[in-house]
Amino acid sequence: MWRILNTFNALVRRDFRRKTLRVSARSLATDDGDPPGVLGKRLKDSAETVVIGGGCVGVSLAYHLAKAGQKDVVLLEKSELTAGSTWHAAGLTTYYHPGINLKKIHYYSIKLFEQLEAETGQAVGFHQPGSIRLASTPVRVDELKYQMTRTHWHPTPQFLISPEKIRQLFPLLNMDKVLAGLYNPGDGHIDPYSCIAVYLISGFWARELGQMIGFQHPTIPVHHQYVVTATVPEVKALEAELPVIRDLEGSYYLRQERDGLLFGPYEKEEKMKLQDSWIRDGVPPGFGKELFESDLDRIMDHVERAMEMVPVLKNADIINIVSGPITYTPDLLPMIGPHQGARNYWTAIGFGYGIIHSGGVGKFLSDWIVSGEPPYDLIECDPNRYAHWTSVPHLCAKARESYGFNNVVGYPKEERFAGRPTNRVSGVYELLKDRCSMGFHAGWEQPHYFHKPGDDTGYKPSFRRTNWFGPVGRECKLVMEGVGVIDLSPFGKFNVKGEDSHRLLDRLFANTLPKVGQTNISHMLTPRGRVYAEITVTQTAPGEFLLITGSGSELHDLRWIEHEAADGGYHVSVSNVTDEIGVLGVAGPKSRMVLQKLTDEDMSDTAFRFLHCRSMQLAGVPVRAIRISYTGELGWELYMDMQNMSAVYQALMEAGQDENIDNFGTYAMSSLRLEKGFRAWGAEMNCDTNPLEAGLDYFIKLNKPAEFIGKQALLEIKAQGLSRRLAFLTLDTDDIDPEGNETVWHNGEVVGNTTSGSYSYTAQQSLAFSYLPLHLTHAGQKLEVELLGQKYPATVTQEPLVLTEPTRTRLQKKQRSV
């Protein structure tokens, strides 16, 4: 079977004419030249779908494809089912996830595990005693409240419980430091070796398999240890199984194992161990159900914390220490879905928690494969979020950090600094890096906000307003009243040209195509009419287009475009120029004055209109200028060769001294876009929403002749009528603002959720977008939004709260003409 893996590069054919992944017959040959037998039968020489890896996710995918009616599915496994990372896993299962979309994965997995024994007749060892996350500091209590706020609108059973309730559920705890707990009834653990529908695809072999077809998948094995004790009398005497405990400050989990206990820690990054030799030398060919040598000394700090919290551990005898490989990605999330750059090549790899992900991921991928689109949004697990910038040093640094971050406080606006910067830095990074707080976006460093002398600097996360609040307000005022400059280089940028470019883009986009020298906002939809992407489209020359997307969806969108171009047989070239082109945004009422000093082009409102584009010289440098700004104010985006970016930036800052030009970052841009009513992809629109309920009607041209993807679905949705709609909310808060995904209440009932939120420095009020039932979307409707366990008054408000500059200009002209 090892020779199957060694010849995987011959198995995947980048065949743009068929939706099949083919297997070569010679790759299945045994040493004597004959194909290996399966129950006395010879294997076929090809299959429509090949699943490589017989761990938990791989078997799950095969199981769900079979249930969906797929007949031609082959699963390849090097060793035996559940080998690799599955067999030695602690088997923990939980409804909880700090994110939103992965809660759906966890929920489905548990519901699947609950019915497997009845369906298959095989005992799967599924225990559901529940689990409790322990909070032993005030900040941890805030974290639990924050997570409860993001869970009320989801079917996941989750409760904030008191120390008294915790003691009732887990009577062996030392309660001296326990302040609260997050309780998930239905959580538990499963025997990963006995369950036929607990699955995985290629696990720690993923990197080598990827290399065979030209990919460097950013996965690395981490040594994870857990300890199993002999019988503990106090545990044996209990009448009911103990819930799983997760001590967040102690960074370990603990559960009952028969009449003893099982305990697993997550060491800090300086103590944890990577199996980095497998990155350098490859996985040993014979490695399947082997383990690493244990190292109890490495986890003694956590053992001591566990003994303090669960005193019966002090006298327990250790009977086993399990140390095995768990695969990590840089951000700890798996890579799930089709891969950009190779036809019909899908990954489901990098599972740090493969057991609980297995059922849901198998169902998610099966639905996607069968229907042709993802069943719901899972962008955070898109395999295409990584690219060339994910070097081995970056991977190792981030894996160490992520392992140690398993139980750190999960703040909003979280930043992690290991492995930064990558080789993805813009032409102004060196000029700006010491003057701002940088954020990490798809490998790029981009300013979040800038600090001045006297400001409280540094990364100081909080669940409430913190040290960025004042500087961001200063930057919003700068853009509203003067002129500011922002680095927008992380935008994804594609050039599309060729004889079929019009036909392709007319098929992809629900909007009409802009004329030469003009720009518009367009959306790519799925066949079901969901919003797959939002793109800024500029026709730079006849048949030549510049497409701009957000940094986090660069390869996600490129894959969709390439897929349609190949399937439709369009004669086009699609090139990714993201790293070659730097982008500066210049915005504010004085931006025109500054730009006019640096060019002979007429920058007046009549000569250079909104959503128009032209190539020009700026300070002697060739740039492409587009009159657009995501702040909603007068502004331009300037596109130039990356090596010229520093010169243009310095020329702008020099020319704008009289106008008090200054920098602003993405936090200010987010606040300004929200008060203008601008939707953001990934928040107000994604694969869970259609453009009509998102209020994007203006950009959707149902009457255009082209049969764009999703058109028929939208016509049906429109005919049936909407059941919900995006609403604009103002909130009365104190020192806290919505971020998105908070629960919305009406008359004591959960009625919706926010999608994004911020503070409007112009209106001096907190704002949020929220999806609500139609009858609650009228202006003046009173609601409540839950923030950190408290319900704050909210009102549905006519949007936008602040008019955009083009609208204000148009109204002023109209008034003058009266």
pLDDT of residue 86: 52
For the record, the structure tokens of 755 come out as 């999608």
Each residue of 677-690: pLDDT tens digit?
Answer: 999 999 999 999 99
| Helix, strand or coil, per DSSP, at residue 805 | helix
Position 89 scores a pLDDT of 63
Tokens found for residue 652:
């702008």
Q: How confident is the model at residue 672 (pLDDT cuts 50, 70, 90)?
A: very high
Residues of the chain with pLDDT > 90, as a percent, come to 73
Q: Among positive and negative, which fits the CA dihedral 484, 490, 496, 502? A: negative
pLDDT band per the 50, 70, 90 thresholds, residue 42: low
Q: Is 363 helix (H, G, I), strand (E, B) or coil?
A: helix
3-state secondary structure of 193: coil
Q: What is the pLDDT of residue 365?
A: 93
Out of 87-101, 504-518, 640-654, 677-691, which region has the weakest mean confidence (pLDDT)? 87-101
pLDDT for 38 beyond 70: no
Residue-by-residue DSSP string for 210-269: HHTTT-----EEEEEEEEEE---HHHHT-SSPPPEEEETTTTEEEEEETTEEEEEE---T
> What distance in Å separates the CA atoms of residue 181 and residue 178, rounded to the nearest whole number?
8
The owner of tokens 């720009």 is: 519
pLDDT-based confidence at 7, cuts 50/70/90?
A: very low
Phi-psi domain of 767 (left: phi exceeds 0; alpha: psi -120 through 50; beta: other): beta
For the CA atoms of 752, 757, 762, 764, the dihedral, rounded to the nearest 10 degrees, stands at 70
Cis peptide before 800 (omega within 30 of 0): yes
pLDDT for residue 19? 31
The Cα 513–Cα 742 span in angstroms is 36
pLDDT tier, 192 (very low <50, low <70, confident <90, very high otherwise): low
pLDDT of 44: 64
pLDDT at 634 over 90: yes
Whether pLDDT at 194 is above 50: no
- Note the pLDDT of residue 83: 56
Q: In what order do the strands lie in the sheet with 544-549?
A: 519-525, 531-541, 544-549, 492-497, 573-576
What whole-number distance in Å separates Cα of residue 614 and Cα of residue 426? 23
User: Band of the pLDDT at 404, cuts 50, 70, 90?
Assistant: confident
pLDDT of residue 199 exceeding 50, the answer is no
Confidence of residue 36 (pLDDT cuts 50, 70, 90): very low
Identify the band that residue 286 occupies on the pLDDT scale cut at 50, 70 and 90.
Answer: confident
Q: How many CB atoms lie within 10 A of CB 125?
A: 15
pLDDT of residue 345: 87
Neighbours of 655 (CB within 10 A): 18
Cα–Cα distance, 96 to 94 (Å, whole number): 5
- pLDDT of amino acid 622: 98
Question: Which H or E run includes 289?
Answer: none
Is residue 134 predicted with pLDDT exceeding 90? yes
Q: What pLDDT is stored for residue 82 in this prediction?
A: 56
Q: What single-letter amino acid sits at 301?
A: D
| Ramachandran angles phi, psi of 637, nearest 5° | -105, 130
Query: In the predicted model, is pLDDT for residue 107 greater than 70?
Result: yes
Res 193: pLDDT: 53
- Among the residue ranges 116-120, 139-143, 493-497, the one predicted with the least confidence is 116-120
Q: What element of type H or E holds 4?
A: helix 2-6
Residue type, position 681, single letter: W
Lowest mean pLDDT of 289-303, 418-432, 608-622, name the range: 289-303
Tell which wins on pLDDT, 46 or 798: 798
Q: Is the pLDDT of residue 751 over 60?
A: yes
DSSP 365-402: HHHHHHHSS-SS--GGG-GGG--TT--HHHHHHHHHHH
Q: What is the DSSP string of 595-653?
A: HHTT-SS--STTTS-TTBEEEEEETTEEEEEE---TTSSSEEEEEEEGGGHHHHHHHHH
Return the higher-pLDDT residue of 85 and 341: 341
Instruction: Output the DSSP codes for 43-92.
Output: PPS--SEEEE--EHHHHHHHHHHHHTT---EEEE-SS-TTTTTTTTS--E
Stretch 620-627: mean pLDDT: 98
Question: How far is residue 226's CA from residue 231's CA, in Å, rounded to a whole number?
Answer: 16
Indicate the average pLDDT of the chain: 89
The arithmetic mean of pLDDT across residues 379-393, rounded, is: 95
Q: From the centroid of its chain, how far is CA 724? A: 25
Phi, psi angle pair for 336, to nearest 5°: -125, 120
Q: Quick one: pLDDT at residue 81? A: 66
User: Out of 347-356, 632-641, 697-706, which region has the weakest mean confidence (pLDDT)?
Assistant: 347-356
Q: What is the mean pLDDT of residues 736-741?
A: 96
Paired sense of beta strands 613-618 and 531-541, if any: unpaired
Residue 253 CA to residue 266 CA, distance in Å, equals 9
Whether residue 31 has pLDDT greater than 70: no
Which one-letter amino acid corresponds to residue 559? Answer: R
Q: Report how far apart, in Å, the C-alpha atoms of 212 and of each of 10, 217, 280, 346, 799 are.
A: 9, 11, 15, 14, 52
Whether 100 has a pLDDT exceeding 60, the answer reads yes
* 637-650 confidence digits (pLDDT tens): 999 999 999 999 99
Q: What mean pLDDT is predicted for residues 627-639?
A: 96
Per this entry, what is the length of the chain? 818
Predicted confidence at residue 582, as pLDDT, reads 98
- 671-700 burial, b at 16+ Cβ within 10 Å, e below that, comes to bbbbbbbbbbbbbbbbbbbbbbbbbbeebb
Q: For 753-788, what is each residue's pLDDT tens digit?
A: 999 999 999 999 999 999 999 999 999 999 999 999
Q: Which residues of 718-735 are buried (b: 16+ CB within 10 A; e: fewer)?
A: eeeeeebbbbbbbbebee
Residue 551's identity, in one-letter code, is S
Q: Per-residue confidence at 43, pLDDT binned at 50, 70, 90? A: low
Listed ranges 217-221, 348-352, 577-581; the one with the highest mean pLDDT: 577-581
Q: In the prediction, which pLDDT does 39 show?
A: 40
The pLDDT of residue 604 is: 96
Which burial class, exposed, middle or buried, applies to 30 when counting CB atoms under 10 A from its CB (0-12, 13-18, 19+)?
exposed
Strand partners, 260: 257
Closest CA to 802 of 507, 481, 524, 579: 481
3-state secondary structure string, 488-500?
Answer: CCCCEEEEEECCC
pLDDT of residue 25: 31
* pTM exceeds cut of 0.85: yes
Element (H, E) at 31: none
Residue-level pLDDT at 23 = 33
Nearest to 1 by CA among 40, 43, 30, 39: 30
Residues with Cβ within 8 Å of residue 160, at least 6 apart in sequence = 144, 145, 148, 180, 181, 182, 183, 789
Give the number of other Cβ atoms within 10 Å of residue 395's Cβ: 24
pLDDT at 40: 44
